[in-house]
Structure 1
Amino acid sequence: MRRLLQYLPLRCHQESKRGYMKIKLNGQDIEANQGQTILQLAQEQGIKIPTLCYNSALEAYGGCRLCVVEVNLGRRKKLVTSCNYEVWEGLEIETDSERVHKSRKLTVELLLSRCPGVEILQSLAREYGIQTARFALENDDCILCGLCVRICRERMGVGVADFVGRGADIKVDTPYHRGSDVCISCGACEFVCPTNSIRLKTVYERPPSEQLSEFEMGLKNRPTIYIPFPQALPNVPVIDRTNCVHFNLDTCGICQEACPADAIDYTQEDRIVEIETGAVILSPGFCLYDAVQKPEFGFTTFPNVVNSLQFERILSASGPYLGKVVRPSDLSKPKRIAFIQCVGSRDSENDFCSSVCCMYAIKEAIITKEHEEDIICDIFYMDIRAHGKGFDAYYERAKGLGIEFSRCRPSKVEEIEGTKNLRIGYVDESNQYNTKEFDLVVLSAGLQPPREAEQLAAKFGISLDGNGFAVTRPFDSVSSTRDGVYVSGPFSEPKDIPETVMQASSAAARAMVQLAEARGTEIVEHELPPERNIAGEPPRIGVFICHCGRNIGGIVDVPGVAEYAKTLPHVVYSTDNLYTCSSDTQLSIKERIEEYNLNRVVIASCSPRTHEPLFQDTIREAGLNPHL
């Protein structure tokens, strides 16, 4: 009782109505918020405290005891779990004392003896100098933290798994040790598991549905909360309501609690905004032909058959494989790649040529050779239609690089059991049936009218042709059948990017002619801040180095360069960015200029010819002379 009375006066400060309190953390006086735990305070101060059973989405309960710290209670010191111990006025805390170190070391030893193969425990063992566990080894991968049980029951409102057994036989399991039919396949248990021992397919009775990235053309998964694609405008996350637990079951809500900006509002709905315009330009793009409609090629049936856009993402430095040429089934480097042309074009279903397929297949084959010179590329074609400026020379260049061209119409693609290689059957120009084996097959799918073409045409009162493309007027390729409505890009017919850009400029010019009387009446001038006078200031240099995906990052050690730049005279800030030309990085540059009072900016990125004006505009908007 005496000890309790000694303790109460200290604890009563916790009920102080002040918003903050003074405490001592590792010998330093700092201020803490009322109701804050020691762990939260330490994280705020950048002090590392190891945890296993703690997750901010759940109420802390200090089960693993790895997060213990030492607190001074006046006449004695005590070890407490930092995750659920709230700070109070005058509290003194030691996060890495000898006593704390010994306690954590013992905890790690005990857990390591139970789960010797778990990577996070092996890492902690190295950190605390544990060579071998002193206790009898088991062969488990679950530390019985209970996070999976609690997240499922308390936040998802389901309760698929629970603790079963007693004493040394206790474990986490589903009823009858089988996949559960009530599991909603949300993946929360897999996400919170500190040892990565949970696999959703062992919990769910049926194979869990994957959320495939639309931007990556289904080559990788994406979370329910995601940014649609790099450099998206606006570059902010969105919630997939179809797969969100909150929108389906009215539970969870963790993201709203965790968002520090309080930006998540579940009640938001789509809004229809009406605006008055004098002209409309329709440029909805195109829809890639769905090669599933050609079952003889095995698209979606054989994992190593991909369409042209998927292969474009494979080659991309920002793609799912960071520009490495691999095949999806086993992520191994292919030795032979086949390109099958005119998939969904120039046949009984679609009698038109998609215009771009020949050249993009040649481009992808050349880029493949640039990535991996020893890969053999074979393009199966009916006719090579290289009709643009320099296109035929590009075709000849491809042949000079060793890219093979086989004039034929492949009849089928078969998967070879075991290797998952692919066998293509075709009749060559001498009328002989042949087969070739490839590691990867790329289907050069044709361009189709956009899915919303009929809906758009009905809304705007324009006509479509028999193939579903917008009808334009003779000698006026941007004017639709209705005055004031213009079209550009592949909405009128398949075309490549340069032609689309030219046509878009033409459509904009036609619209401006129609709006000549109103031109300039609603212009809002862009106001720039006053230009800073830096005369007499010592140089304060900020360095921004771009990865550009793997284009630069695959060759240069970009983080290493950024770290080296920090050692140079007058450099007060240095960092690396994935894409320095992106809108979010431009905003970051302006923020860093203000935060660090920079008066010189160095950007190591792509060609100055294309990007220098962009970066100059950025620093001018931050108040610096654009030539600094």
Structure 2
Amino acid sequence: MGKTGVFVCWCGSNIGGVVNVPQVVEAVRSLPGVVLATDHKYTCSEPGQQMIISAIQEHGLERVVVASCSPRMHELTFRKTLKRAGLNPYMLEMANLREHCSWIHSHLPQLATEKAIALVKKAIAKVSRAKPLFEDFLPINKRALVIGGGIAGLQAALDIAEHGYEVVLVEKEPTIGGKMAALDKTFPTLDCSACICTPKMVEAAQHPKIKIYTLAEVAKVEGYLGNFTVTVHQKPRYIDLARCSGCGICESKCPSKVASEFEQGLSMRTAIYRPFPQAVPNKPVIDARNCRKIQENKCGLCAKICPNGAIDYTQQEELIQEQVGAIVVATGYELFDWTRYEEYGGGRYQDVISGLQLERLLN
């Protein structure tokens, strides 16, 4: 169990004005492993710390319990005290007799004293199982992962990259830009939303220290702070981006039409499409769920008319691993389903719309 020393602090009248400190000391003095139990008016003071150092050296203490204020305030102070005495600084346990006892039970001094005794007993039991810990330094991977390519994720990625660190940006949609790209104006200046967002999208795409995965999601995160292994689930775009010139011929000829997510269902798009004109990457993507070639092995018109042979129906899902040291989660938001407000007729009346639908109409 090791030799344990217990030091109970009066903290002036903060503790001593409510808790019977001598009674606490007497109650724990004969506990197994305790070779010294004493008190001090201000244990955190220089004389109080020197008393602990002298007691460690004189009694050969191997573990220390300090019953005083919050560890948040003085745990580091007492760890340094143990280190100065030649004891491993992690062989310390603190019992909070101020915030957890005297301050909240100031009208019940006897019960506060009983609780203080219980808290000190718990600290003694806990420190009896303490093991020495040692500081060490581990190399960290100075790359960052940003999850989400909306305005928050873009700004985070640009800020990190501008400080000289590599960034992996993962966005689940076919383009970066997020919700801000769909807004009309921004409050309070009423600036054009796209005028703010689009330059940042282009800057991120062209930045030499930013790698962007679109149509991708984080499947798994392993490792620990400073050294994470991230598995990115890359979905197929069915477009060879290196060959695609973004001419738009395929989009204009595709016969399959579905509701546009970017336009909040207010207009239609083709099965091979660009979410919006300023999308990054500014190349089309095939919606596999609505592509007749992929679903039924029919059509295939886009592949026939593409002048560069950029259509690739054979693309498969991939799992890509990236090594990073820090992760920024900027996954944005989804609108509340306004159709659940039945009293307003959402989903039943055509003129009851969402905020983003209003933005698209204004735009």
Regarding TM over 0.5, the answer is no
Structure with the larger strand share: 2
TM-score range, shorter chain: 0.3 to 0.5
TM-score (norm 2): 0.40
Structure with the larger helix share: 2
Q: Which has the higher contact order (CA 8 A, sep 6+)?
A: 2
